[in-house]
Amino acid sequence: MTEIQQNTLKKRIFSGMQPSGEAHLGNYLGALRRWVGMQDEYDCVWCIVDDHAITSGGDPAEMPSSVFDLAVSFLAVGLDPERSTIFVQSDVHEHTELAWLFNAVTPVGDLERMTQYKDKAQHFESIPAGILNYPILQAADILLYKANAVPVGEDQRQHLELTREVARKFNARYGETFPITEPLIGEDVGRILGLDGNAKMSKSLGNTVGILADPDDVWDKVRTAVTDPQRVRRDDPGRPEVCNVFALHRFFTEENAREEIEAGCRSADLGCVDCKRILSGNIATSFAPYRERATHYREHPSEVRDVLDQGAEKAQKIASETMQEVRRKMGLNWRNAIP
């Protein structure tokens, strides 16, 4: 039985995250907390996608520490190497090999229609080819492991549809090889705005909270968060339904306490600063076990290395099987084909 076939009772899922250092609140709410909960139901493959990260530039000297810090975050929140495969993308070279081969079946027009390509291209005077080809590498990441499904946010649905189309085109040209991967959209998350009200939480924008930040640092970030723009004075009644701070309470504050906060906001008995202090305290309390585990891993970096090495070894076995099949079907196996 092959590595790909061995776990027939569970569907395989794949997802990845770019290494920008310690994971932040948006990473946690949008992905990590969900990944942790999927580990018993699915055969999970979690990847730190450093090959993707280089398309955005950045300082190469900072990449190794960014990879390590994200790996610490993965382990701290509860991604379990006993129940998941956790590895770094560049340690499995088949990712970039399959991405190159997928260029043979992916029309340029499909890539140019990607919304994220159009958005990112605006930031470059000369657009790197990697920005255009980014979705092809994403397709390779997923299909290399023949993932049945991918947990994604709504903003990634278009990229996953391209992955599905790449699989269809490859299968039509070279024979049935890849599954048509299904999206697993997190319906309970919704749109998570940055603390400053921007459309996306981002470390580069400084509008989020590190999940391993100490309580004082959490408060430093949360206290700057925007609230109801029409609530100017302390005694103005608020509108919780349009307040991003109140929206975040849904993830960190128990229902009965949320009801009290909502009532206090509408009646102006509870000020925005008080609301923020409650949220900040609840975030810090919720993340306390993660900070404790992160301290352990930072003091024992060899354990993190072992997890990533073992994960890469597991991933490599699956990737190698897939690539042997792909090379054979594409006629790239002349050594074995010629007597």
Active site residues: 120, 200, 203
The owner of tokens 């397709």 is: 139
Mark 177-214 as b/e (b = at least 16 C-beta within 10 Å). Answer: bbbebebbeeeebeebbbbeeeeebebeeebbbbbbbe
Distances (CA, A) of 47 to 19, 141, 153, 197, 300: 10, 9, 16, 29, 21
In angstroms, the CA 250 to CA 57 distance is 36
**DSSP characters over 276-320:** HHHHHHHHHHHTHHHHHHHHHHHH-HHHHHHHHHHHHHHHHHHHH
Distances (CA, A) of 226 to 1, 235, 273: 55, 17, 11
In angstroms, the CA 141 to CA 145 distance is 7
Pair 102, 178: CB distance under 8 Å:
no
The sheet with strand 43-48 has its strands ordered as 84-88, 43-48, 12-17, 149-152, 182-185
Pair 3, 317: CB distance under 8 Å:
yes
Could you tell me which of 40, 17, 42, 41 has the C-alpha nearest to residue 27? 17
- Helix/strand/coil for 208: coil
- Helix/strand/coil for 135: helix
In angstroms, the CA 323 to CA 305 distance is 26
Mark 23-54 as b/e (b = at least 16 C-beta within 10 Å). Answer: bbbbbbbbbbbbbbebbeebbbbbbbbbbbbe
